């Protein structure tokens, strides 16, 4: 049970903030001021202060739960315009709810891209895709690479532009779970974490702030060069094995949020992506070894 | 007034717009689920350059959903044809499937939840057996629902194939058997056309429009049906280019007992979407207008539930509820309606 610091005998003022996440403009409205503070902390470089010239893609609200739950285990609900897709969360987890809500919003609407469920990082204009599979440790690895000189394009979505064939950045905080939080704290002193949200649906979650450079360069796409399916296995030595293009294609088509929906466009975008990349699977237990190995990936013959 | 209605009335208004208006339009359009259709309407009028690029990208990005549904519908149709062709049972396409197969512009970006087909009533039993053998199953196993559809409705309970999730609605008439208006299906069959490039039939242009009108204003609850009204608006624009369409339409409506739904369709399509209709056709349709009291009431309620209200205003729940009652009133005689609603209420499901 949580106790509130001050009696809530009146509704506090609603706050509004507009910020950019990669190609999208988000307009957030909420009476929960703590969320707005965290948004300012996470997205400082991309908060929109002057009037913009592009329309808002995601009008979202995070609201307090029903009145009878204001004092006893207060709740928060997520709304994308007139739709509320999730059950209420504990109010303390409202920022995590907002981040997951935005993931959902992007996945159901951003069909101008082939949406892969993957972390993406960039070096020298070349993008490395780390597709998510259960237990892959994708977020931990992405966090470690982002703290070792790679530019974080995204932790959750590979936004593949079917026309330009490039991958668009979508830099957002990386939600790290359970032991990963301590692993990354120990990995780098530069890691800036938000509050730990204990016992969410996905365990304890803390958000790693995206590097300022990632946020400032969020309009710079990258050419896909490497696809690595990571797999964390305790005690395993670093092992890297090449994957065939057809196998990679099949696995990525399963991993995409909208591959089927896009039809021929999705097929062509994915085929081209796989053909322009070197593809591996890699098993690791030591994060430092894996980060070093990612820096030595050979590029595809152009 | 709603900005979306403004654009649908005259797409050129967007050339004057500022960003706050675009933001509002996008919210209204998303809430109505009309993004992809709007993107096509803007393209047909060559107005893409007047849109903010991000707005256009977002609208066009939603086209893939309708495209996938239409591809799934085509697959489902091929399978249905394969199951019914050995028995020589003809298939007539209704609504979205008919618009798409006929290559009409109204089908562009038009999403649909299910596939509507019409089969000859006298072949219905044979067709049902054939579909069952081929793997289609009924979505309801509730005995009351099964009886409700079979005895009183104009369609079988929804079907889907056991390996696919696409819903098929098999009709044998255009409107419920218990309803106030009962257009004779044999007349629809007699006037129907065969498609040049596919083994299906589609209703003649007048019947296509009349069926759309009946769906929205006779059989439907009207609320939330802006897409249905847009169908009528676009169909009128496209079908009226054929010579003789306007002369045949009122006559045909009378023959099918669909004068009243046609009156509402023309009246509200013109009032809300500024559809171009010749004055003599409006006068002819006027003969089927309801009494003055009823007419005033419909004029009050229908725009309230069709006009996009989100995000500026709350939904018109009371008007929607009254029109929901009206739709049931038109569907069944009062005694049967009472029993039906009571039964549904006691079961506690959705109405």
The DSSP code for B113 is: S
The beta-carbon neighbor of A55 closest among B19, B65, B310 is: B19
Residue A160 Cα distances to A27, A99, A110, A129, B114, angstroms: 24, 21, 11, 11, 31
Question: Does residue B65 sit at the A interface (CB-CB below 8 Å)?
Answer: yes
Q: What pLDDT was estimated at residue B338?
A: 84
If asked whether residues A273 and A191 sit together in one domain, one would say yes
Higher pLDDT, A203 or A128: A128
Please state whether beta strands B92-93 and B114-118 pair in parallel, antiparallel, or not at all (unpaired): antiparallel
Per the document, the length of chain B is 351
Q: Quick one: closest CA in A to B22, which residue? A: A55
Out of B26, B67, B68, name the one closest to residue A55 (CB): B26
Tokens representing A262 are 């896009």
Whether the upstream peptide bond of residue B181 has omega within 30° of 0, thus cis, is: no
B70 touches chain A (CB under 8 A): no
In angstroms, the CA B305 to CA B323 distance is 9
Give dist(CA A43, CA A170) in Å, integer. Answer: 12
Instruction: Check B61 against A109: CB less than 8 A apart.
Output: yes
* Interchain contact, A112 vs B60, CB within 8 Å: yes
Question: Residue B264 has what pLDDT?
Answer: 97
Please enumerate in sequence order all residues whose Cβ is within 8 A of that of A168, keeping only pairs 6 or more positions apart, or say none: A22, A23, A113, A153, A159, A161, A221
Residue B125's pLDDT is: 93
B28 touches chain A (CB under 8 A): no
- Separation in Å, CA of B258 to nearest CA in chain A: 36
A195 and A55 within one domain: no
Residues of chain A contacting B58 with CB distance shorter than 8 Å: 55, 57, 109, 112
A198–chain B nearest CA distance, Å: 35
Residues of A within 8 A of B54 (CB-CB) are 23, 25, 54-55, 57
User: Within 10 A of B17 (CB to CB), how many other CB atoms are there?
Assistant: 18
Would the CB atoms of B58 and A112 count as touching at under 8 Å? yes
Do A128 and A213 reside in the same domain of the chain?
yes
Chain Cα centroid distance, residue A196? 17
The reply to whether A101 and A121 lie within a common domain is no
Q: Does B68 touch chain A (CB under 8 A)?
A: yes
Mutate to test the interface with B, among A55, A81, A84 (most CBs of B within 10 A): A55
Beta strand B136-138 with B159-161 is: antiparallel
For the stretch A24-59, pLDDT in tens is: 999 999 999 999 999 999 999 999 998 888 999 999
All residues at 6 or more sequence positions from A167 whose CB lies less than 8 Å from its CB, including other chains: A120, A127, A129, A153, A158, A159, A160, A161, A221, A222, A223, A224
Chain B residues within an 8 Å CB radius of A79: none
CB-based contact B31 A81, cutoff 8 Å:
yes
Same domain? For A101 and A120 the reply is no
The verdict on residue A301 lying in a domain is: no
Of the candidates A109, A138, A155, which is a domain's last residue?
A109
Within a domain: residue A160? yes
Q: What is the pLDDT of residues A112-171, one digit of tens each?
A: 999 999 999 999 999 999 998 876 889 999 999 999 999 999 999 999 999 999 999 999
CA distance B284 to A41: 66
State the complex-level ipTM.
0.90
Domains in chain A: how many in total?
A: 2
On whether residue A290 sits in a domain, the answer given is yes
Q: What tens-digit pLDDT sequence spans chain B (351 residues)?
A: 799 999 999 999 999 999 999 999 999 999 999 999 999 999 999 999 999 999 999 999 999 999 999 999 999 999 999 999 999 999 999 999 999 999 999 999 999 889 999 999 999 999 999 999 999 999 887 888 888 888 788 899 999 999 999 999 999 999 988 888 999 999 999 999 999 999 999 999 999 999 999 999 998 899 989 999 999 999 999 999 999 999 999 999 999 999 999 999 999 999 999 999 999 999 999 999 999 999 999 999 999 999 999 888 888 999 999 999 998 888 888 888 888 888 888 876 544
**Between chains, do A261 and B31 touch, taking CB under 8 Å as contact?**
no
* Residue-range domain boundaries for chain B: 1-61, 65-202, 204-351
A&B contacts, CB < 8 Å: 55
Q: Is B230 or A299 the better-scoring residue by pLDDT?
A: B230
Chain B residue nearest residue A114, CA to CA: B61
> Is A167 found in the same domain as A33?
no
Indicate whether A262 and A288 sit together in one domain.
yes
SS3 A167: strand
Contact state of A54 with B52 under an 8 Å Cβ cutoff? yes
Q: What confidence score (pLDDT) does residue B68 get?
A: 96
Specify whether A266 is located in the same domain as A126: yes
In a shared domain, residues A105 and A140: no
The reported pLDDT for the residue numbered A301 is 53
Inter-chain residue contact A55 with B22, CB threshold 8 Å: yes
CB contact residues (below 8 A), chain B span 304-323, against chain A? 310-311
* In a shared domain, residues A67 and A127: no
Query: Distance from CA of residue B121 to its chain's centroid?
Result: 21
**The last residue of a domain, from among A74, A109, A144:** A109
Q: Which of B18, B21, B28, B54 to mutate to test the interface with A (most CBs of A within 10 A)?
A: B54
Domain assignment present for A238: yes
Interchain pair B64, A265: CB under 8 A: yes
Centroid of chain to Cα B255: 21
* B75 in A contact zone (CB under 8 Å): no
A93/A118 same-domain check: no
For A63-86, how does the pLDDT look when each residue is reduced to its tens digit (9 = 90+)? 998 877 777 788 999 999 999 999
d(CA B26, CA B311): 10
Range of the structural domain that residue A137 is part of: 114-295
CB-CB: which of A55, A109, A261 is closest to B52?
A55
User: Which chain A residues touch B69 with a CB distance below 8 Å?
Assistant: none
Q: Report the CATH number of the B65-202 domain.
A: 3.30.460
Is A79 in the same domain as A225?
A: no
Task: Please state, in angstroms and as integers, the Cα–Cα distance from residue A34 to each residue in A12, A98, A101, B75, following that order.
Answer: 12, 12, 17, 51
Establish if A9 belongs to a structural domain.
no
């Amino acid at each position: 049970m949580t106790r509130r610091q001050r009696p809530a005998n009146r509704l506090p003022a609603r706050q509004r903030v507009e910020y950019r996440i990669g190609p999208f403009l988000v307009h957030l409205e909420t009476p929960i001021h703590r969320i707005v503070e965290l948004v300012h902390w996470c997205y400082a470089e991309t908060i929109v202060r002057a009037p913009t010239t592009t329309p808002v893609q995601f009008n979202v609200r995070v609201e307090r739960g029903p009145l009878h739950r204001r004092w006893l285990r207060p709740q928060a609900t997520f709304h994308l315009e007139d739709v509320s897709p999730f059950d209420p969360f504990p109010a303390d987890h409202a920022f995590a709810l907002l981040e997951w809500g935005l993931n959902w919003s992007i996945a159901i609407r951003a069909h101008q891209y082939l949406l892969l469920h993957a972390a993406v990082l960039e070096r020298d204009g070349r993008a490395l895709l780390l597709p998510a599979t259960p237990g892959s440790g994708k977020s931990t690895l992405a966090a470690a690479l982002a703290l070792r000189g790679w530019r974080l394009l995204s932790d959750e979505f590979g936004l593949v532009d079917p026309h330009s064939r490039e991958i668009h950045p979508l830099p957002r905080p990386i939600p790290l779970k359970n032991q990963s939080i301590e692993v990354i704290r120990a990995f780098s002193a530069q890691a800036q974490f938000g509050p730990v949200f204990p016992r969410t649906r996905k365990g304890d979650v803390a958000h790693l702030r995206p590097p300022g450079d990632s946020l400032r360069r969020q309009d710079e796409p990258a050419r896909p060069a490497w696809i690595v399916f990571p797999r964390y296995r305790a005690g395993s030595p670093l092992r890297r094995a090449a994957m065939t293009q057809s196998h990679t294609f099949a696995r990525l088509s399963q991993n995409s949020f909208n591959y089927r929906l896009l039809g021929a466009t999705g097929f062509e975008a994915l085929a081209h992506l796989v053909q322009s990349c070197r593809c591996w699977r890699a098993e690791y237990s030591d994060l430092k070894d894996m980060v070093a190995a990612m820096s030595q990936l050979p590029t595809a013959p152009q | 007034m709603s900005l979306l209605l403004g654009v649908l009335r005259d797409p050129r208004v967007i050339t004057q717009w500022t960003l706050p208006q675009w933001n509002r339009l996008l919210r209204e359009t998303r809430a109505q689920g009309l993004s992809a259709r709007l993107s096509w309407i803007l393209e047909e009028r060559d107005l893409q350059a007047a849109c903010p690029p991000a707005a256009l990208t977002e609208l066009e990005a939603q086209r893939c959903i309708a495209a996938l549904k239409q591809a799934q519908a085509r697959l489902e149709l091929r399978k249905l044809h394969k199951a019914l062709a050995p028995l020589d049972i003809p298939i007539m396409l209704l609504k979205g499937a008919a618009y798409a197969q006929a290559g009409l512009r109204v089908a562009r970006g038009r999403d649909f939840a299910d596939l509507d087909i019409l089969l000859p009533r006298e072949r219905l039993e044979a067709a049902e057996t054939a579909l069952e053998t081929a793997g289609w199953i009924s979505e309801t196993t509730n005995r009351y629902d099964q009886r409700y559809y079979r005895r009183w409705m104009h369609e079988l309970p929804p079907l889907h194939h056991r390996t696919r999730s696409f819903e098929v609605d098999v009709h044998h008439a255009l409107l419920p058997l218990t309803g106030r208006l009962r257009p004779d299906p044999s007349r629809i069959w007699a006037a129907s056309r065969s498609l040049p490039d596919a083994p299906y039939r589609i209703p003649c242009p007048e019947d296509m429009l009349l069926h759309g009108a009946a769906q929205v204003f006779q059989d439907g609850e009207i609320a939330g049906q802006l897409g249905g009204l847009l169908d009528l608006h676009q169909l009128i624009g496209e079908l009226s280019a054929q010579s003789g369409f306007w002369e045949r339409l009122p006559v045909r409506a009378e023959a099918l007992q669909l004068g009243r739904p046609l009156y509402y369709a023309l009246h509200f399509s013109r009032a809300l979407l500024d559809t171009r209709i010749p004055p003599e056709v409006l006068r002819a349709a006027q003969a089927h207008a309801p009494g003055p009291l009823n007419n005033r009431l419909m004029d009050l309620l229908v725009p309230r539930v069709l006009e996009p209200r989100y995000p500026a205003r709350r939904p018109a729940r009371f008007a929607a509820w009254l029109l929901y009652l009206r739709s049931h009133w038109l569907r069944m005689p009062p005694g049967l309606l009472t029993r039906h609603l009571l039964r549904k209420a006691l079961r506690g499901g959705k109405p």
